[in-house]
Amino acid sequence: MAHAVSPLAPAAFPEMPPIAGVRFATAEAGIRYRNRTDVLLVALDEGTEAAGVFTTSRCPSAPVDWCRAALKGGKARGVVVNSGNANAFTGRAGVATVEKTAAIAAAALGCRPSEIMLASTGVIGEPLDASKFEGVLADCAARATAGPWIGPARAIMTTDTYPKGASATVEIAGVPVSIAGIAKGAGMIAPDMATMLSFVFTDAPIAAGVLHALLQASVSRSFNAITVDSDTSTSDTLMLFATGAAARQGCPAISDAADPRLAAFKAALETVLLDLAHQVVKDGEGARHFVGITVTGATSTASAKRIAKSVADSPLFKTAIAGEDANWGRIVAAVGKAGEPADRDRLAIWFGPHRVAVEGARDPSYSEETVSAYMKNQDLAVRIDLGLGDGTFTAWTCDLTKEYVEINGDYRS
């Protein structure tokens, strides 16, 4: 299971501020892994507003079903996350496990089970024994502190090779508020509402409905714009919690997503989500290159997105990137298979600053040597101009290497 840290990893885990009203602790519950933390308990102050977006899988995990129902109240007092077992495709036993886990956590935090959010990540199809949480969660509740964030970021990792976090501090009506988020994910990454797991916290006093609107607006261009392997997970979960603690410093309560005082917060939230999403791709199993694929000139944003994702998901494109080969022919094939309006003879393609194809054929000034040198960069930018309209979208992916196959050929057994 142990793999070397991704060469695309950030140099260090970022400095992240505490969020007033958020405390946490981690523990070793021995769910699957030995000698590492695998449980995270987050304690949230009373009054915390919550929203989430989840996998579009028709076979969601039991915790996803639980959170969808629990979030209807718009309030949360705690979050329990475990790694090593996804509690997905576990039938009635899986439902019993989430009910029991929520009850244990609620007792530990002194709240109702419906105020507990749950997320599990790891192997699918294996029963998860809720008794693993007995004692562990009460102990976590007693130890919970406001930092450091690297602990929770580590406890939720599976095949991730580094912990992922991002934060921002902005002002609402002149009052500073903070955003801090963690994420995990390395494989089964083609989020279609969210990535595997990500939890974002703020002390701003923002109502649950507004939080949901903010997530919906940001996720399309961040977590839903990344792919490692086109395999949407059963457990994708992105939740945003607002403790409202900044109200004590005079921050106004926000109950309307269109409130102009939210402008800086919206931008900062999107930056945090995009940062976390990029970190997930950069930890893509076996990844050696990080690639942004920008489609311009499409007939609509939706069309640009489908084309960008068709390229980002193409195994042949991704293996070419692994081979540091500027194989624009495979980009044309992936554009063609997307089923979106495209005119072969108007296509132009760039690798970084180098235009390799124009008007449906190789650029007359193409230099194999120059482009090959560019392909050795860890971070690569591909641009595809369709020449049809104003639609534009950027998707992010990583290369497909032998290590991806190695990691996934022996993950379970």
Which residues 6+ apart lie within 8 Å of 29 measured at CB? 38, 39, 82, 132, 133, 136
93 touches a copy of itself (CB under 8 A): yes
Interface with a copy of itself, residue 13, by CB under 8 A: no
Q: Tell which one of 334, 382, 388, 398 touches a copy of itself (CB under 8 A).
A: 334
Binding residue for a copy of itself (CB under 8 A) from 140, 295, 347, 395? Answer: 347
Q: Determine the longest span between alpha carbons in the chain, in angstroms.
A: 70
Quick one: 33 or 366, whose CB is closer to a copy of itself? 366
Q: Closer to a copy of itself at the Cβ: 110 or 315? A: 315
Site membership for a copy of itself, residue 86 (CB under 8 A) = yes
Nearest to 125 by CA among 183, 65, 62: 62
Smallest gap, in angstroms, from Cβ of residue 349 to a copy of itself? 9
H or E element: which one contains 139?
Answer: helix 136-143
357 binds a copy of itself (CB under 8 A): yes
The binder of a copy of itself chosen from 44, 79, 88, 238 (CB under 8 A): 88
Site residues for a copy of itself, 269-298, by CB under 8 A, read: none
How many degrees, rounded to 5, is the angle at CA 397 between CA 393 and CA 399?
145
Among 182, 291, 320, 380, interactor with a copy of itself by CB under 8 A: 320
Active site residues: 195
In the bound state with a copy of itself, the residue whose beta carbon lies nearer, of 203 and 283, is 283
Provide the phi-psi class of 296: left if phi over 0, else alpha when psi is between -120 and 50, else beta: beta
Angle value at C-alpha 201, between 195 and 204, nearest 5 degrees: 135
Q: With binding defined as CB under 8 A, does residue 345 bind a copy of itself?
A: yes
* Cβ 303 to a copy of itself shortest distance, Å: 11
For a copy of itself, give the closer residue by CB, 76 or 186. 186
CA distances from 168 to 104, 179, 327, 340, 348 (A): 33, 5, 38, 37, 37
Nearer to a copy of itself, 129 or 325 (CB): 325
Binding mask 369-408 for a copy of itself (x = CB under 8 A): ---x---------------------------xxx-xxx-x
Nearer to a copy of itself among residue 123 and residue 257 (C-beta): 123
Task: Give the angle 96-99-104 at the CA atoms, nearest 5°.
Answer: 120
224 touches a copy of itself by CB under 8 A: no
Counted residue by residue, the chain has a size of: 413
Can residue 333 be called a binding residue for a copy of itself (CB under 8 A)? yes
Task: Give the pair of three-digit tokens for residue 65.
Answer: 């079903």
- The answer for residues whose C-beta is within 8 angstroms of residue 22's C-beta and 6 or more apart is 42, 43, 44, 45, 146, 180, 201, 203, 241, 243
Angle value at C-alpha 92, between 241 and 97, nearest 5 degrees: 45
Residues 106-145 contacting a copy of itself, CB under 8 A: 123-127
Stretch that binds a copy of itself, among 32-40, 111-119, 213-221, 331-339 (CB under 8 A): 331-339
Distance (Å, whole) CA 136 – CA 271? 34
Contacts of 274 (CB under 8 A, 6+ apart): 221, 222
Nearer to a copy of itself, 45 or 324 (CB): 324
Residues 140-169 touching a copy of itself, rule: CB under 8 A, are none
User: Interacting stretch for a copy of itself, rule CB under 8 A, among 136-144, 232-240, 251-259, 275-283?
Assistant: 232-240
Q: Which stretch binds a copy of itself (CB under 8 A): 161-169, 229-237, 262-270, 292-300?
A: 229-237
| Burial class of residue 145 in the structure, from the number of CB atoms within 10 Å of its CB (0-12 exposed, 13-18 middle, 19+ buried) | exposed
User: The tokens 């701003």 sit on which residue?
Assistant: 204
The least CB distance from residue 350 to a copy of itself, in Å, is: 14
Nearest to 403 by CA among 319, 312, 287: 287
